[in-house]
Amino acid sequence: MSEANNNTIIIDGKEIPFTEGQTIMDAALAADIYIPHLCHRPGLKPHGSCKLCTVEVNGRSASACTLPAASGQEVSNNTEALTEVRKTITQMLFVEGNHFCPSCEKTGDCTLQAVAYHLDMLDGHFPQFYPKREVDASHESIVLDRDRCIMCELCVRASREVDGKDVFAITGRGVDAKLIVNSASGKLADTDITTDDLAAHICPVGAILIKEHGYETPIGRRTFDLHTIAEPGLEPVILRKGKHADEH
């Protein structure tokens, strides 16, 4: 048997190929296998912050987006125990900010909302935090609503790795963590971010929005109104929702 034929892993009993350098998440997405995730995007360095992609690899817990695929791995993804853990994480994210879907422009295109539907999350379970986080509407074209931020750092990584601008950063830990803007004033208006930047479109929730373009796609016709997040081949559709994202 050739070395190439040995480059396979098992996910929920299904043998799938991988190439050197791919993570378990990369291999799964290439095989149209959905592993829940929020902080992962193809083309950006793995981060492993949301922990939704936790899987069991040969009996041990690991983040699918950071662990390299390796021959001999047997991965459990769709188990009752993992679903409950993922549901709890999602519930915690909902109560840690303003995620009242009917009042959010991102509804129907929100990855957090879609993950909640996928996990059959019926309520937030935990008491609402109601954190006090600043809304920054200083930029002429982009609004930053920190109360919806889930600390996935997608905007941080997109600005640094793709846009080359380093506009955003996370400071603090735990309940004190918050998204900050790298300018002397701390305001978005005093950065060089533009609506052409990937960082302006990559937010999976409604924390970063483009002004004067709300509800251009009517509710009922949005990505997750028409598709489930686990639908095979949907990842490129999600990426194209960010302007020019498929070009990066």
55: part of which helix (H) or strand (E)?
strand 54-57
Backbone phi and psi for residue 114, each to the nearest 5 degrees, phi listed first: -65, -40
Contact yes or no for 55/77 (Cβ under 8 A): yes
Question: Which residues neighbour 246 within 8 Å (Cβ) at sequence distance 6 or greater?
Answer: 236, 239, 240
CATH 3.30.70.20 segments of the chain: 102-247
CATH 3.10.20.740 segments of the chain: 3-78
* C-alpha separations of 212 from 113, 140, 142, 146 in Å: 23, 10, 9, 19
| Cα(64)–Cα(37) distance, integer angstroms | 9
Give the CATH architecture of domain 3-78.
Roll (3.10)
Is CATH 1.10.645.10 the classification given to domain 102-247?
A: no
Question: Which residues neighbour 245 within 8 Å (Cβ) at sequence distance 6 or greater?
Answer: 198, 201, 202, 239
User: For residue 233, what pLDDT is reported?
Assistant: 80
| Model confidence pLDDT, tens digit, residues 176-190 | 889 999 999 999 999
| Model confidence pLDDT, tens digit, residues 180-236 | 999 999 999 999 999 999 999 999 999 999 999 999 999 999 999 999 999 988 877
- Quote the pTM value: 0.91
Residue 139: band (very low, low, confident or very high) from pLDDT cuts 50, 70, 90? very high
